[in-house]
Amino acid sequence: MVAATGIAAGTWQSLSEDGLHDPENPAIGVLQEPAEALGVLHYDPAGNKVDWVRSLDQGMIAPRPSLHDDREPEILESTVLMRNTNELAYVLFAHKPHTQWMSCEACHDSIFIAEVDANPINMGKILDGEYCGLCHGAVSFPLTECNRCHNTVPSSVRADGSIIEAADSAQ
C-alpha cells in the first residue's frame, strides 16, 4: 500500500509489531492498521506522521463535532501573541486550528483563563503535562517541534502587537 502522499507503508508500525498489541490476540487482522488509515493523509515528520490540521483543512478527514450532530463547531479566527519567551521566538497562538478540533470549553476556563497574559505558562509546566502540554506531547504534535509554536520573530511584530505579514514587509 503506497500512500497518496508518496510515503510507503513501513512508516507506521503494524499492530502486531508495535510492542503493545498481543500478536496472538484475535483482534489482529480485524483492527484497522495505522498505515492503511494514516498513509493516505498529509505526511508530517512528527507524531503520527500526519499533518492533522492540513488533512482536515483539505477535507481528507471530517471528524464529527458531536455524537448526535447537534452542535456546530465555533471556529475562532483570533490569535494570541505571547512575548514572554526569553531568547526564543514569540508564540503566536492561533485559535482557528484549535477550534477546528475542540469546543471552547475544552480549554476555557478549566485549563486556560480566557485573558491574555493571565496564565502563568512556562515550558517546565508544559513538559510536565500542564497547559499546552496536556495535549501537545501526548496526542497533538510533540514538544520537539519548537518552531511550530515559537513561530514569530520579534522583528516581525509592530509596537502595537500586530504582525507584519511577509507581503507587508516586501512592500
Positions in the binding site for another protein (CB under 8 A)? 12-13, 17-22, 25-28, 30-32, 34, 37-38, 46-50, 52, 61, 63-67, 73, 100-103, 105-106, 127, 129-130, 133-139, 142-144
CB of 70 vs another protein, minimal distance in Å: 10
CB of 115 vs another protein, minimal distance in Å: 21
CB of 146 vs another protein, minimal distance in Å: 13
Whose Cβ is closer to another protein: residue 25's or residue 58's?
25
DSSP summary character for residue 114: S
For cell 483539505, name the residue: 58
**Closest C-alpha among 136, 159, 114, 134 to residue 47:** 136
Question: How far apart, in whole angstroms, are the C-alpha atoms of residue 152 and residue 136?
Answer: 19
Question: How far apart, in whole angstroms, are the C-alpha atoms of residue 52 and residue 98?
Answer: 11
Whose Cβ is closer to another protein: residue 122's or residue 156's?
122
> Is 134:72 a contact under the CB 8 Å cutoff?
no
Whose Cβ is closer to another protein: residue 9's or residue 143's?
143
Helix (H, G, I), strand (E, B) or coil at 25: coil
CB of 97 vs another protein, minimal distance in Å: 12
Question: How far apart, in whole angstroms, are the C-alpha atoms of residue 51 and residue 136?
Answer: 14
Whose Cβ is closer to another protein: residue 18's or residue 165's?
18
Whose Cβ is closer to another protein: residue 32's or residue 78's?
32
> Is 166:158 a contact under the CB 8 Å cutoff?
no
CB of 5 vs another protein, minimal distance in Å: 15
